[in-house]
Amino acid sequence: MCKFCEESEAAVKKIFDEVGITDKITCAQAHDLIETYDITFGDIGAYCDKHNVKIKNCQLGCF
C-alpha cells in the first residue's frame, strides 16, 4: 500500500482547486480543510511535498 495513493492525491488536488490553493497554504487553512473534507494532515502534507506547495504561518513555528 502506498503512503500517498492516487486517490488521496486526486482528492487533495480537487479540494485545492476548489478553494484556490496553488502554491502556498497556511496551517490554519489546512486545519479548516481537514475539518471540512475527508482528508488528513498526511494527505495535505504529501500533496504539498510532491507539488511544491509551501506551508506558511505554521502554528508550531515549523514552516
Is pLDDT of 59 > 80? no
Question: For residue range 16-48, what is the model confidence (pLDDT) as tens digits?
Answer: 999 999 999 999 999 999 999 989 999 999 999
In the chain, where are the structural domains located?
6-56
pTM (predicted TM-score): 0.84
Tell me the Cα Rg of the chain: 11
pLDDT of residue 30: 94
Is pLDDT of 1 > 50? no
pLDDT of residue 50: 93
Is pLDDT of 51 > 60? yes
Q: Are the CB atoms for 57 and 34 separated by under 8 Å?
A: no
